[in-house]
Amino acid sequence: MAYRGRFAPSPSGPLHAGSLVAALASWLDARAHGGAWLVRIEDVDRPRNVPGADEEILRQLAACGLVPDRPPTWQSQREALYQAALDRLVREGKAYPCACSRRDIALALFAQGRERTRHGELVYPGTCRAGLHGQEARAWRLRVPEGVVPWTDRRVGVHLQNVAEEVGDFVLKRADGLFAYQLAVVVDDADQGITHVVRGEDLVDNTPRQILLQRALGVPTPQYLHAPLVLGPNGEKLSKQNGAAAVEVAQPAAALAAAARVLGITVDPRVAVPELLAQAVRAWGARYP
């Protein structure tokens, strides 16, 4: 199958040193494999969108020589697709409506004597699996099958996660009516024919959920490679919140050379952007054949 990769930024701010690493890694992998590289603006989580950040990101990418091979897409224009996928899952009994508030979930877990969380999220105890009992639907959840989901990352190797135990039935459409990242990303990767997902390591934990959703929807699982993160001064993933500066479009070679270094690739920062990128593609291709 022809290689197709993508970079899928959320427009919550301009590209910074950390998001440039993810952009560069996905672009390098596509180029090294003679594939196509797409850009998808992941703006489903409307409250987090910063007006103009999408156009700013595209301008920054272009300044760095990272130009998508197809016109970019915006998730906010694709919500009918997500709804159709959700409707199908519900029809097939693979997803279900849920009436629980956060408080209901906390109380149910407390009653079961197991206050479980993962990254601050409560593990859903399955209250509405058997129906709403006359209550009104707030959100929709995937009925997660029992068992461990094994998968292999091209950079960091084998991972195991028991999604049913560690996450529970996760949300596909939220109580505020917005589609969850998990559903949108899986529907889009499948609809756009993405064969290889290359993104930041902070998303590793989401991959087993996405694999389960792919199975539920009967679509292929792409190959995954999670790239190293740039850490901020507080040791957490670099973000606007911990002081990440926007990528300087006047100095693209310096920004790209720094991003390449994070990926373990050495390039000459004194050469022009096209030559720097060509060096990086050769080094990447040798590392991730």
- Applying CB under 6 A, which residues contact ligand GLU? 8-10, 42, 185, 199, 203
**Distances, alpha carbon 214 to alpha carbons 87, 219, 222, in Å:** 15, 5, 9
Query: Whole-number minimum distance, CB 185 to ligand GLU, in Å?
Result: 5
Give the strand pairing for 157-161 and 171-173. Answer: unpaired
- CB–CB of 128/98 below 8 Å? yes
Write down the least CB distance from residue 177 to ligand GLU, Å.
19
Tell me how far, at minimum, the Cβ of 189 lies from ligand GLU, in Å: 8
Residue number, 97 or 193, with CB nearest to ligand GLU: 193
CB of 32 to ligand GLU, least distance (A): 18
- Of the two residues 138 and 199, which places its CB atom closer to ligand GLU in the complex? 199
Least distance CB 41 / ligand GLU (angstroms): 9
Tokens describing residue 252: 């693209």
Contact in structure between 109 and 123 (CB atoms under 8 Å): yes
Which of residues 32 and 203 has its CB atom nearest to ligand GLU in the complex?
203
- For ligand GLU, which is the closer residue by CB, 140 or 224? 224
Kindly tell me which of 9 and 208 has the beta carbon lying closer to ligand GLU: 9
Q: 194: which 2 tokens?
A: 């993405």
- In angstroms, give the least distance from the CB of 206 to ligand GLU: 7
Q: 40 or 173, CB closer to ligand GLU?
A: 40
- With 0-12 / 13-18 / 19 or more C-beta atoms within 10 angstroms meaning exposed / middle / buried, residue 267 is buried
Question: Buried b / exposed e across 179-217, counting CB within 10 Å, b at 16+?
Answer: bbbbbbbbbbbbebbbbbbbbbbebbebbbbbbbbbebb
Tell me how far apart the alpha carbons of residues 105 and 108 are, in angstroms, rounded to a whole number: 5
Is residue 166 classed as helix, strand or coil in its secondary structure? Answer: helix
